[in-house]
């Protein structure tokens, strides 16, 4: 599941690292950046939910015309938990907020997470001079291709490429100008060639990284 965004429709394009329920922090950052919801757009690298204080509010961002998101492994764990009535993995990874919600809130969350089945795994963004590709953990191929078939489990979970980068063993992805990932919390944004990792652990007290693509 791929989605394309035409950057010419927007004045500014921003990309945010993993939110994990940090709704108020996001709003604070957007206000400081003078984000204009009528002209700008914000794209999330996934993991809207779990661990932080406002998972439901972050899910509700999907209603905003100025907000797009790809699917993260935490959305996938939540959907799987509800689809198969097996919440253990989700609960162990920060999904306990769902059980602590009121019955009314749980009904809303169930509806919202059902809608997450429509979230793409990959977003391609065309700006005036570049093609950007956003995926949650990795784009597990040496070449990017629109609608190319991938191992979606690796798109959501794989850390091998990042581990190789950090060990000094760099691999190339061609077919687009820049690739943007979240998933692995780091102290600082990490760049290796045309690959960029922007989960800087906001929910763990780190910075919420926002990147301006246009």
Domain locations in the chain as residue ranges: 1-71+120-214
154-204 pLDDT, tens digit each: 999 999 999 999 999 999 999 999 999 999 999 999 999 999 999 999 999
18-56 pLDDT, tens digit each: 999 999 999 999 999 999 999 999 999 999 999 999 999
The single residue listed with the structure tokens 């097996």 is 86
The single residue listed with the structure tokens 């757009």 is 41
Structure token pair of residue 167: 């060990």
Task: Report yes or no: 70 and 123 within 8 Å, Cβ to Cβ.
Answer: yes
Dist. CA 58–CA 49, nearest whole Å: 7
Choosing among 3.50.50.60, 3.60.21.10, 3.40.1280.10, 2.60.40.10, the CATH entry for 1-71+120-214 is 3.60.21.10
The residues pairing with 134 across neighbouring beta strands, listed in sequence order, are 123, 180
Per DSSP (E only), the strands in 136-183 are 178-181
- Tell me the whole-structure pTM to 2 decimals: 0.96
Question: Which residues make Cβ contacts (< 8 Å) with residue 168, sequence separation at least 6?
Answer: none
Instruction: Report the chain's mean pLDDT, rounded to a whole number.
Output: 97
pLDDT band at 107 (very low <50, low <70, confident <90, very high): very high
Per DSSP (E only), the strands in 7-121 are 13-16, 41-44, 67-69
Pick the catalytic residue from 9, 12, 74, 170: 74
Dist. CA 171–CA 168, nearest whole Å: 10
User: Is 132 one of the catalytic residues?
Assistant: no
């Amino acid at each position: 599941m791929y989605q394309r965004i035409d950057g010419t429709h927007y004045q500014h394009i921003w990309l945010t690292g993993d939110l994990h329920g940090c709704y108020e922090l996001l709003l604070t950052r957007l206000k400081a950046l003078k984000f204009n919801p009528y002209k700008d757009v914000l794209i999330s690298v996934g993991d809207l939910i779990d661990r932080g204080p406002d998972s439901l509010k972050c899910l509700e961002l999907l209603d905003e015309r100025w907000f797009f998101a790809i699917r993260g492994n935490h959305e996938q764990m939540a959907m799987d938990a509800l689809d198969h009535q097996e919440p253990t993995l989700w609960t162990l990874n920060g999904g306990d907020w769902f059980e602590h919600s009121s019955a009314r809130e749980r009904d809303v969350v169930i509806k919202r997470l059902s809608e997450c089945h429509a979230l793409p795994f990959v977003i391609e963004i065309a700006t005036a001079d570049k093609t950007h590709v956003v995926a949650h953990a990795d784009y597990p191929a040496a070449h990017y291709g629109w609608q190319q078939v991938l191992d979606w489990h690796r798109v959501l979970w794989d850390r091998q490429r990042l581990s190789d980068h950090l060990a000094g063993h760099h691999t190339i992805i061609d077919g687009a100008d820049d690739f943007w990932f979240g998933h692995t919390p780091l102290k600082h944004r990490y760049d290796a060639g045309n690959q960029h990792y922007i989960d800087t652990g906001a929910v763990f007290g780190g910075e919420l990284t926002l990147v301006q693509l246009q």
